[in-house]
A and B are shown apart, each in its own frame.
Chain A
Amino acid sequence: AQTVTQSQPEMSVQEAETVTLSCTYDTSESDYYLFWYKQPPSRQMILVIRQEAYKQQNATENRFSVNFQKAAKSFSLKISDSQLGDAAMYFCAYRSSFQGNQFYFGTGTSLTVIP
């Protein structure tokens, strides 16, 4: 099974500053999807951003962007201009491109935003 590793259990950032959350994964496949999900205290997981492995261009969604390094199997999330509402647990996830495969999640990074 694929494994997803988030080595930072907790991170903090000053409001309006930039923070980067790390994620690495282990796979023998060449085609797959990577995701970052946010889980606020309300518990509902919300998709933040998605990257397709065959695309070299890093995905961006407003203040959120990723640094996808396929050879290194690294997929970090950068949050720019951090806002208080960004405080949450962030989960990195992997999914094979073959239909029928499950999503694999990391253990999460708890992000605190300091006013």
Chain B
Amino acid sequence: DTGVSQDPRHKITKRGQNVTFRCDPISEHNRLYWYRQTLGQGPEFLTYFQNEAQLEKSRLLSDRFSAERPKGSFSTLEIQRTEQGDSAMYLCASSLIGAGGGEKLFFGSGTQLSVL
């Protein structure tokens, strides 16, 4: 178990550019979540996958945001035409559903996005 890894750790971009983040979950985990966290706030749900299927998207997720999880393994989160309000830490978490005893989220260290 190598944990949840996210890449990159930091991303600085200019407004209007596209950015893509990657998340590698714990290998046997079938569920993967994306959260956004701004300073002084708790994580806000963006979307989640069960295997390769995207089951839920937050209303916070504008059409500039898209996430994929091909083959039910790693996931990418892309933000198109970035805006300064997109500056935040983007957290990925994974879990194993169906193992009994309820769901526990395991988080990565996040990608800190700064839009200039």
Stretch at the interface among B15-23, B38-46, B75-83: B38-46
A97 to B100 CA separation, bound complex (whole angstroms)? 12
At the interface, yes or no: B48 with Cβ under 8 Å from chain A? Answer: yes
A33: which B residues are within 8 A, CB to CB?
Answer: 102-103
Answer whether residue A95 sits at the interface, using C-beta atoms and an 8 A cutoff.
Answer: yes
Check A103 against B110 for contact (C-beta < 8 Å): no
27 example contacts (A-B, Cβ-Cβ < 8 A) are as follows A4-B42, A9-B40, A35-B105, A37-B107, A43-B109, A43-B110, A44-B108, A44-B109, A44-B110, A45-B43, A45-B91, A45-B107, A50-B102, A50-B104, A52-B102, A91-B42, A93-B42, A100-B55, A100-B56, A102-B33, A102-B45, A102-B56, A103-B33, A103-B45, A105-B43, A107-B41, A108-B42
- Report if A47-B102 is in contact (Cβ < 8 Å); known contacts: A107-B40, A107-B41, A108-B41: no
The interface of chain A, by Cβ under 8 A from chain B, is 4, 9, 33, 35, 37, 42-47, 50, 52, 91, 93, 95, 97, 99-100, 102-108
Near A by CB (< 8 A), chain B positions 8-60 give: 33, 40-45, 48, 55-56, 58
| A93 cross-chain contacts in B, Cβ below 8 A | 42
The size of the chain B interface, using a CB distance under 8 A, is 24
Residues in B neighbouring A42, C-beta threshold 8 A: 109
* Chain B residues within CB distance 8 Å of chain A: 33, 40-45, 48, 55-56, 58, 89, 91, 93, 97, 102-110
Instruction: Determine if B104 and A47 form an interchain contact, defined as CB atoms under 8 angstroms apart.
Output: yes
CB neighbours of B58 from chain A (8 A): 102
